[in-house]
Amino acid sequence: MDGPILITGCSSGIGAAAARDLVARGHTVYATARTPVEIEGARWLALDVNDDQQARAAVAQIEAEHGSIGALVNNAGYGISGAVEAVSLDAFRRVFETNVVGYMRMAQLVLPGMRRAGQGRIVNVGSVAGRTTMPGAGPYSATKFAIRALNDALRFEARGFGIDVVLVEPGPIRTNFTGTANTSFPESEAYASFHEAVAKADAEADSSSLAGDAEDVAKAIRRAVEARRPKALYRVTFVARLLPALRGLMSEHAWDAFLRSQAPAPKP
């Protein structure tokens, strides 16, 4: 893979770890975020993936300096937690705008240059939540299922132009991601105890020995970027491999019973 790498969502966590890792490997990295935080060796651009003008300007600047973008790492996103009934439609629209529309916007902007160059790579950071929906994560999981659908379509559509499209699916990762999501549970008397149980279960999962680190995801992103023939899917952590396998083996009723072992179902 030739050319500079554009990474979204680099203010912390997986994006920052991926930028550091790829810089250390000698790549030209443009690390972007709404509020840039300096990463040694990376070029910084302020970029909110919801701002169409800003996104176009960032891609245009990189292409003016280097020609086509070699790889796009779609990572910008955030989580929301809460029962489906309790999450506001405005909050649901906002998370879809960032997590899904933002990915699609960035892909659409880099693809013309990649097609002209006859090569390129798009790495979409998804989640095991795009294959299995855990208690209290319905709206967030919906965005990750949507990312997987777009990724599968784009992988088929872009291949003939010499462009590889790769999905990276982490399981629980020790970052501030889940903690931040769980600070914004919607107020709901009916679901208050359920939300409390979900927050506790999420905190335990992210601090368990089965959780990975941002650097583990960064290594998978690096493999996806550097491999001559990248795999279509890189799963990160044992949980990211186990949960989809369990879901495929279980009936709906059996899966619901498993979920009740993770958090008690809401009730009066």
Does residue 268 lie within any of the structural domains? no
- Residue 256 has a CB neighbour count (10 Å cut-off) of 11
pLDDT-derived band at 208, boundaries 50, 70, 90: confident
Q: Greater confidence, 84 or 175?
A: 84
Does residue 156 lie within any of the structural domains? yes
Which SS3 state, helix, strand or coil, does residue 29 take? strand
Does residue 73 lie within any of the structural domains? yes
- Tallying the residues shown for the chain, one arrives at 268
Q: What is the pLDDT of residues 163-195, one digit of tens each?
A: 999 999 999 998 766 655 566 789 999 999 999
Out of 30, 103, 140, 191, the active site residue is 140
Task: Specify the number of domains making up the chain.
Answer: 1
Amino acid at 55: A
Question: Domain range for residue 89?
Answer: 5-262
- In degrees, rounded to 5, the angle at the alpha carbon of residue 248 between the alpha carbons of residues 244 and 254 is 105
pLDDT-derived band at 142, boundaries 50, 70, 90: very high
Q: Is 140 a catalytic residue?
A: yes
Q: What is the pLDDT of residues 240-256, one digit of tens each?
A: 999 999 999 999 999 99
Does residue 267 lie within any of the structural domains? no
> What span, in angstroms and rounded, lies between the C-alpha atoms of 118 and 184?
44
> What span, in angstroms and rounded, lies between the C-alpha atoms of 80 and 183?
9
Does residue 106 lie within any of the structural domains? yes
Query: For residue 159, what is the domain's CATH number?
Result: 3.40.50.720
